[in-house]
A and B are shown apart, each in its own frame.
Chain A
């Protein structure tokens, strides 16, 4: 058995384990997935909408937030205008007569904007909404009830894609649905490790206790979640609180976003690495960080195996071609295709099937995502997902070099 086979089998073993954990947790808790306990708990809430040059989207977002069924006497909305140079402030101010406050400050980035706005927020809870996201009217009320448990530091909602016109957007719609589905599963394991900006809510006292959002990390929504977990706060996921967000339509924008997410992931991991395997931080030390690290290792290992095989084949093809030319033969002899199955084929097919089952279940569970299993599904499963290890590798080197572009 050669080294490549051993790496492949390790990849299979770990991927199989995490896939089975995910599926088993889902099936064990399927009836509780959309748990809608009737009791309400609505303490005062301030919704912060950080915005930088968002003149195209801010009005729609404000309309969605203002349509909330949260008790109006406990509901405050603040647009945090982070030094926008377009009409964001002007548009936001047209909502002042509906109770919206506009807090304008010099540009200092999203984490700092939130930190500053938190200081002036009156709410006991802080809701954060990206300026291109649209929460459903019930979202805040459904999320706030989890804060009845004093150890809950944050609650995140189900972020889904609003625009599903081109292939790029459809891919992301599937991805968001799959992420939301797995996040709910992680919730059953007390291991939600990101509170995305498209819809999240925090206990203000918890934010103050952990020192707010870290300005030096590119994914403040991952870092704050890890920080809360480190302080032994619980993070819940509310599956019936939906928020629809605008996904990048262009490859270049999508690529930059993904690089930022991954670099932020590395930064967060590095900052909290010393808590790995520490049992006194509950699931954070024994599951969240190791899970994150395993994901990185698997991506690297998978990509290395794939790249190694491709490069080796390419190298051999070049040698073959040069010998063919030397012998006066045609450049391209038909490559031999060996279809005999082996243990790697068996495991490979099994893993792909398990993964496809996961995708199908997630899309069927999250009907509101309105993602149909059609042609784009095949593209997503076969091609889109394979770009992730590439993004991770590129991000890794960018992180090493100190990448900090937003």
Chain B
């Protein structure tokens, strides 16, 4: 009886391989679409950033008051860049082939440092009354303990942002993505460990800190 059935084993093997390869390709395709989406998102943000900067520069050239506009733009950019950061994180969790979106994350980190420096500058020039809250963390924590500690700290900062809204600029910066300007921040502000929260470039809180702890420095 089995003699008539032997072809089934080969046919099933071929069908399995075809389905498996198609599935893998589909998986790779889904991930590449997501990565492309991140890249597009980055380009949009970058364009917006350049546009905003040029407008601010032009207002300055004309001698017009640029502060109100620049602060508003910075705050909106803060929200947008935070949302994009979350999107990358979720994509990274879902990806199985292109697990580490290092390049994209470094590009975003650079954009965030530029934004951070602008936030400092605006505060000085325009007497803006928002607080810069910089969160130093590791993109690739060494252990589950570090990972969960960062998760709790990140959640607390998210709650803080929710409570204070546009009164704070929340800027998460990964310290382990080999971005030299962030390395300079780390040494300049004497950040010794992660997680660390820096408030208004004057106070650095190392380790896990509660909502109330951080709030007391605002």
A283–B209 Cα distance when bound, in Å, is: 66
Provided the pairs A21-B8, A189-B5 are in contact, do residues A338 and B93 lie with their beta carbons within 8 angstroms? yes
Decide if A38 is an interface residue (CB 8 Å cutoff): no
Tell me if B144 and A17 are in contact (CB < 8 A). no
- The interface residues of chain A lying within 8 Å CB-to-CB of B155 are 329, 333
A70–B23 Cα distance when bound, in Å, is: 53
The contact sample of 24 A-B pairs, CB cut-off 8 A, is A13-B16, A16-B20, A17-B12, A20-B15, A25-B8, A312-B144, A315-B144, A316-B148, A319-B145, A323-B148, A323-B149, A324-B152, A327-B156, A327-B211, A328-B212, A329-B152, A329-B210, A329-B211, A333-B155, A340-B90, A340-B93, A342-B94, A343-B23, A347-B23
Provided the pairs A1-B99, A13-B16 are in contact, do residues A343 and B144 lie with their beta carbons within 8 angstroms? no
- The interface residues of chain A lying within 8 Å CB-to-CB of B23 are 12, 343, 346-347, 350
| Among listed B28-36, B60-68, B71-79, B162-170, interface-contacting one | B28-36
A187–B149 Cα distance when bound, in Å, is: 57
- The interface residues of chain B lying within 8 Å CB-to-CB of A188 are 1-2, 5
B7-28 CB mask vs A (1 if < 8 Å, else 0) is 0110111011001100110111
Q: Which residue of A lies closest to B29 (CB)?
A: A343
Decide if B132 is an interface residue (CB 8 Å cutoff): no
Q: How many Å from the CB of A382 to the closest CB on chain B?
A: 22
Provided the pairs A16-B20, A327-B209 are in contact, do residues A346 and B9 lie with their beta carbons within 8 angstroms? no
Tell me if B13 and A17 are in contact (CB < 8 A). yes
Decide if A5 is an interface residue (CB 8 Å cutoff): yes
- The interface residues of chain A lying within 8 Å CB-to-CB of B151 are 320, 323
Tell me if A190 and B16 are in contact (CB < 8 A). no
Q: How many Å from the CB of B44 to the closest CB on chain A?
A: 20
Decide if A210 is an interface residue (CB 8 Å cutoff): no
Q: How many Å from the CB of A283 to the closest CB on chain B?
A: 6
- The interface residues of chain B lying within 8 Å CB-to-CB of A329 are 152, 155-156, 210-211
**Quick one: which of B2, B26, B208 contacts A326, CB cutoff 8 A?**
B208
Decide if B91 is an interface residue (CB 8 Å cutoff): yes
Tell me if A28 and B90 are in contact (CB < 8 A). no
- The interface residues of chain A lying within 8 Å CB-to-CB of B194 are none
Q: How many Å from the CB of B61 to the closest CB on chain A?
A: 45
Interface positions, chain A 311-365, Cβ under 8 Å from B, are 312, 315-316, 319-320, 323-324, 326-329, 333, 338, 340-344, 346-347, 350
Q: Which residue of A lies closest to B209 (CB)?
A: A327
Report whether over half of chain B's contact residues are helix, strand or loop; otherwise say mixed. Answer: helix
Tell me if B95 and A342 are in contact (CB < 8 A). yes
- The interface residues of chain B lying within 8 Å CB-to-CB of A25 are 5, 8
Provided the pairs A16-B19, A187-B1, A323-B208 are in contact, do residues A344 and B12 lie with their beta carbons within 8 angstroms? no
Q: How many Å from the CB of B2 to the closest CB on chain A?
A: 4
- The interface residues of chain A lying within 8 Å CB-to-CB of B94 are 338, 340-342
Tell me if B27 and A342 are in contact (CB < 8 A). yes
**Quick one: which of A20, A190, A342 contacts B2, CB cutoff 8 A?**
A190
Tell me if B20 and A341 are in contact (CB < 8 A). no
Report whether over half of chain A's contact residues are helix, strand or loop; otherwise say mixed. Answer: helix
Q: How many Å from the CB of B151 to the closest CB on chain A?
A: 6
A99–B66 Cα distance when bound, in Å, is: 109
Please count how many residues in chain B sit with their CB below 8 Å of the partner chain's CB atoms: 43
- B contacts, CB < 8 Å to A: 1-2, 5, 8-9, 11-13, 15-16, 19-20, 23-24, 26-28, 30-31, 34, 90-91, 93-97, 99, 144-145, 147-149, 151-153, 155-156, 208-212
- The interface residues of chain A lying within 8 Å CB-to-CB of B30 are 341-343, 346
Tell me if A346 and B26 are in contact (CB < 8 A). yes
Tell me if B12 and A319 are in contact (CB < 8 A). no
Q: Which residue of A lies closest to B146 (CB)?
A: A319
Decide if A24 is an interface residue (CB 8 Å cutoff): yes
Q: How many Å from the CB of A7 to the closest CB on chain B?
A: 12
A20–B2 Cα distance when bound, in Å, is: 17
Q: Which residue of B lies closest to A322 (CB)?
A: B148
A188–B11 Cα distance when bound, in Å, is: 16
A340–B20 Cα distance when bound, in Å, is: 20
**Quick one: which of B19, B96, B153, B209 contacts A343, CB cutoff 8 A?**
B96
Tell me if B11 and A316 are in contact (CB < 8 A). no
Q: How many Å from the CB of A12 to the closest CB on chain B?
A: 7
A199–B208 Cα distance when bound, in Å, is: 67
A21–B13 Cα distance when bound, in Å, is: 8
Provided the pairs A323-B149, A342-B27 are in contact, do residues A21 and B208 lie with their beta carbons within 8 angstroms? no
Tell me if B9 and A21 are in contact (CB < 8 A). yes
A340–B94 Cα distance when bound, in Å, is: 6
- The interface residues of chain A lying within 8 Å CB-to-CB of B152 are 320, 323-324, 326-327, 329, 333
Tell me if B20 and A13 are in contact (CB < 8 A). yes
**Quick one: which of A24, A283, A316, A327 contacts B12, CB cutoff 8 A?**
A24
- The interface residues of chain A lying within 8 Å CB-to-CB of B156 are 327, 329
A319–B148 Cα distance when bound, in Å, is: 6
Q: How many Å from the CB of B5 to the closest CB on chain A?
A: 5
Q: How many Å from the CB of B7 to the closest CB on chain A?
A: 9
Q: Which of B5, B26, B156 has the most CB of A within 10 A?
A: B5
Tell me if B93 and A343 are in contact (CB < 8 A). no
Q: How many Å from the CB of B29 to the closest CB on chain A?
A: 10
- The interface residues of chain B lying within 8 Å CB-to-CB of A21 are 8-9, 12
